Amino acid sequence: MPQPDLTQMELEELSRLFGAAGSTSPDAQRYAAEFTRRQTVAQINAAEAQVRAASAAEETAKYTRTNARYLLWSVVVLAVSGLGTFAVSIVNILLTTTAISD
Domain residue ranges in the chain:
6-101
Residue 89 burial class via C-beta count within 10 angstroms: exposed 0-12, middle 13-18, buried 19 and up:
exposed
Please report, in tens digits, the pLDDT of each residue of the chain (102 residues total). 567 788 888 889 988 888 888 878 888 888 899 999 999 999 999 999 999 999 999 999 999 999 999 999 999 999 999 999 999 999 999 988 887 776
pLDDT at 17: 85
Residues 6+ apart with CB under 8 A from 38: 11
Please state the φ and ψ torsions of residue 41, each to the nearest 5 degrees: -60, -45
Instruction: Supply the pLDDT for residue 55.
Output: 97
